[in-house]
Amino acid sequence: MMYAMGLILGGLSLIAKRINQLTLLIQILLLFITDTLTKTSPSSAISCIIPLTVGNDIARKSVSNIAISYNEWLMLILVSMLWFVVGSVVFGMSSRYARKNGLLGTY
């Protein structure tokens, strides 16, 4: 699910090299936005476009023996595929930029 965000951050690290603080900030924001720490109802619109939120909801329902609708599975699959495509494109663009400007051999 979150493979695409890893690709995006990997692409940024090819260019910027030192993104440790940005990565930590994104992780902390995701904990709150995706309802990982606490369940808020209803979920905001921005949290629905992050696959981790939908995955958390499905996992909670599965553990609680609540039926999971096909729409929720479909939403998880579609959002995950969208993020994967975006992550792959961003990583590819970053990789090409880093190779073109000679950033891969330096730190």
Q: What is the pLDDT of residues 7-61, one digit of tens each?
A: 998 998 888 888 888 888 888 888 877 777 777 655 567 767 888 888 888 888 8
* Tokens linked to 84: 């994967």
State residue 96's pLDDT score: 92
Query: What single DSSP character describes residue 44?
Result: P
Confirm whether pTM is higher than 0.85.
Answer: no
CA–CA gap between residue 34 and residue 24 (Å, rounded): 15
